Amino acid sequence: MSFLFRRQHLAFISRCRPFSSVGRADVDYFRTFLPTHAILTTLPNDSGSVAPAELDVYNRDWMGKYTGRATTVVKPRSTEEVSKIVRWCNEYDIAIVPQGGNTGLVGGSIPVNDELILSLANMNKVRSFDPVSGILITDAGCILQELTDYIAPHNHIMPIDLGAKGSCQIGGNVATNAGGLRLLRYGSLHGSVLGLEVVLADGTVLDQLTALRKDNTGYDIKQLFIGAEGTLGIVTGVSILTPAAPQASNNVVLALPHFDNVLPLYRKVKRSLSEILSAFEFIDRTAYDLAVKHGQGRGLSDEDVAGAQCFVLVETSGGRREHDEEKLNDLLAELLDAENPLILSGVLSQNPAQFSSLWALREGVTEAISKEGKAYKYDISIPLDKFKVVVDATREHLAERNLIGEHAVKHVMGYGHVGDGNLHLNICAAEYTQEIQDALEPFVYELVASYRGSISAEHGIGAAKTHALHYSKDEVSIELMRKLKALFDPRGILNPKKILE
Ligand SMILES: Cc1cc2nc3c(=O)[nH]c(=O)nc-3n(C[C@H](O)[C@H](O)[C@H](O)COP(=O)(O)OP(=O)(O)OC[C@H]3O[C@@H](n4cnc5c(N)ncnc54)[C@H](O)[C@@H]3O)c2cc1C
């Protein structure tokens, strides 16, 4: 197909629908610079096409909730190849969905129609690491766990850690501004990302891949791409500050008789452990039982957890093992000896295997829920003292509508990052149904808004929450977001219908 014909064809299509579908001419063009294995297409093609089922892993999200209809996935190996693809798509009005590890929980990485999927999986090389400054410069498609393993021999750790670390990519982490388990200690990616390389909507490469800790030369443009979920540009390179690995890490899981004890416990733990406290995670009883049921990590004995309403996982990371262990043991003794103990029992990890096992209990909750049923996920920021109120109110609301039961909503639970004020409210049902969806929304959003909370603390807006953005952002902010989108992506080809409706 000649380019001229392609344009006429496009003019016809664009009258009928907002974007052009990927066609044979597009695939032929991609083949001029991408190897065969870097293009998966179901379109009939001289160079071969794949069965539709081969695209399922790209067209379906981690939860099995969102399904796209992409006919083609491209996997560029370099920034230059990303730029060529994006330039072409911008010219011919083809919408693109950037995709990292596809572990996002709000449908952001899945096409809403038949957009082209641009997978960063083949951009997986570390560009440089400086063991003195701890600055890592890497392709966006590197998997978080692999980066962790890469810098471990240099005694450094990644500033973020999350349950999906074996699959999620650093570019996806940046695009979602992922929080995770280390935010309490190392802060958000807005602080630790030092620079980015981004392919803009017209194919221009924005090179802000600096390794400077300080740079006050005008607007800090890279911040806009952190958490933009691929709607403003495609992140191809990341410069990130990695902290020195702690010399000693310990963790303990504590069983609490009442939720009311969580906040006094948090205060006490912060005071006693001060600089060595690195995580304070909350798991309610339902979430804990599900994690244990589905073999996620090791729990306490049945005797220890009898009567426990909830659990917290405390992690310490410090410079000297004896010092840290002494502090932790003192704290535990104080907690158990008190006249009105805040905890019922606790288990302290004794070796690296137990350390991982206790963490698996908390990190594995998301996976346990997905094994148990279909999850309605609300990732909210609310005042700490409202964690239980929100979970209970949601459960009661569903019960009033007769939606609790083995064939409807099986469990309502809360877990999350207490240190960051972030609760994962999860409703685990037998199936996704409109009735449950309608019962939950806008109920949950209105509840969150009544506490001036955020409807998305760390997972983003994606496709799941575009209609609810106004609960956490005022009209002025949303209007500015629209203007920024129009400025960065005038033709709207980058991840359409995500974040903004
Ligand atoms: C078991 C489990 C535990 C999780 N725990 C946490 C947690 O503790 N904290 C947390 O914040 N999240 C968590 N998540 C959610 C998810 O893992 C994160 O959002 C993660 O950062 C997504 O990375 P990814 O590479 O999989 O991105 P994807 O899912 O592929 O994409 C997510 C979004 O980013 C965009 N995107 C991806 N790569 C790029 C790129 N290079 N350039 C531009 N845009 C891009 C996509 O278009 C999409 O909008 C968890 C998920 C699972 C399954």
Atom of ligand 1 nearest to the CA of 178: 11
Atom of ligand 1 nearest to the CA of 61: 29
CA of 189 to the centre of ligand 1 (A): 13
Atom of ligand 1 nearest to the CA of 179: 11
- What kind of architecture, by CATH, is found in domain 248-365? 2-Layer Sandwich (3.30)
C-alpha pair distances (Å), 237 with each of 84, 142, 169, 244: 16, 10, 11, 22
Residue-level pLDDT at 214:
87
Atom of ligand 1 nearest to the CA of 167: 26
Given a contact cutoff of 8 angstroms between Cβ atoms, the answer to whether 319 and 244 are in contact is no
- Per residue of the chain (501 residues), what is the pLDDT tens digit? 444 444 444 433 433 447 999 999 999 999 999 999 999 999 987 677 899 999 999 999 999 999 999 999 999 999 999 999 999 999 999 999 999 999 999 999 999 999 999 999 999 999 999 999 999 999 999 999 999 999 999 999 999 999 999 999 999 999 999 998 889 999 999 999 999 999 999 999 999 998 888 889 999 999 999 999 999 999 999 999 999 999 999 999 999 999 999 999 999 999 999 999 999 999 999 999 999 999 998 778 889 899 999 999 999 999 888 999 999 999 998 998 878 899 999 999 989 999 999 999 999 999 999 999 999 999 999 999 999 999 999 999 999 999 999 899 999 999 999 888 899 999 999 999 999 999 999 999 999 999 999 999 999 999 999 999 999 999 999 999 999 999 999 999 999 999 999
CA of 32 to the centre of ligand 1 (A): 31
CA of 373 to the centre of ligand 1 (A): 21
The answer to whether 126-241 and 248-365 have equal CATH topology is: no
Residue-level pLDDT at 46:
67
DSSP state of 304: H
Residue-level pLDDT at 337:
82
Other CB atoms within a 10 A radius of the CB of residue 5 amount to 10
CA of 168 to the centre of ligand 1 (A): 6
Given a contact cutoff of 8 angstroms between Cβ atoms, the answer to whether 412 and 394 are in contact is yes
Cis peptide before 442 (omega within 30 of 0): yes
CATH class of 3-119: alpha beta
Pull the structure tokens for residue 197.
């390389």
Other CB atoms within a 10 A radius of the CB of residue 109 amount to 29
CA of 104 to the centre of ligand 1 (A): 4
CA of 37 to the centre of ligand 1 (A): 24
CA of 105 to the centre of ligand 1 (A): 7
Atom of ligand 1 nearest to the CA of 173: 21
CA of 115 to the centre of ligand 1 (A): 19
CA of 358 to the centre of ligand 1 (A): 24
Residue-level pLDDT at 45:
74
* Contact residues of ligand 1, CB 6 A cut-off: 62, 97-105, 108-109, 120, 140, 162-164, 168-169, 171-173, 175-176, 178-180, 229-230, 234-235, 366-367, 458-459, 462, 495, 498
Q: Whose CA is nearest to atom 15 of ligand 1?
A: 104
CA of 127 to the centre of ligand 1 (A): 22
Given a contact cutoff of 8 angstroms between Cβ atoms, the answer to whether 423 and 458 are in contact is no
Pull the structure tokens for residue 207.
């090179």
Q: Mutation test of ligand 1: which of 62, 63, 168 has the most ligand atoms closer than 8 Å to its C-beta? A: 168
CA of 162 to the centre of ligand 1 (A): 10
Q: Which CATH code is given to the segment(s) 373-459? A: 3.30.70.2740
> Residue 130 is which amino acid?
D
3-state secondary structure of 366: helix
Given a contact cutoff of 8 angstroms between Cβ atoms, the answer to whether 317 and 184 are in contact is no
Q: What fold, for 126-241?
A: 3.30.465
Other CB atoms within a 10 A radius of the CB of residue 333 amount to 10
Q: Where are the domains of the chain?
A: 3-119, 126-241, 248-365, 373-459
Q: Whose CA is nearest to atom 52 of ligand 1?
A: 164
Atom of ligand 1 nearest to the CA of 228: 44
Q: Mutation test of ligand 1: which of 162, 234, 313 has the most ligand atoms closer than 8 Å to its C-beta? A: 162
Tell me how far the alpha carbon of residue 454 is from its chain's centroid. 16
Q: Mutation test of ligand 1: which of 176, 296, 426 has the most ligand atoms closer than 8 Å to its C-beta? A: 176
Q: Whose CA is nearest to atom 16 of ligand 1?
A: 104
Atom of ligand 1 nearest to the CA of 498: 49
DSSP state of 20: P
Q: Mutation test of ligand 1: which of 73, 85, 103, 417 has the most ligand atoms closer than 8 Å to its C-beta? A: 103
CA of 229 to the centre of ligand 1 (A): 9
Q: Whose CA is nearest to atom 28 of ligand 1?
A: 102
CA of 69 to the centre of ligand 1 (A): 20
* 220-227: long-range contacts, CB 8 A cutoff, minimum separation 24: 222/193, 222/195, 222/196, 222/198, 223/190, 224/484, 224/488, 225/174, 225/175, 225/196, 225/198, 226/174, 226/175, 226/177, 226/189, 226/190, 226/193, 226/196, 227/175, 227/176, 227/177, 227/190, 227/460
Other CB atoms within a 10 A radius of the CB of residue 25 amount to 17
375 CB contacts (<8 Å, ≥6 apart)? Answer: 63, 369, 426, 427, 428, 429
Pull the structure tokens for residue 41.
């297409």
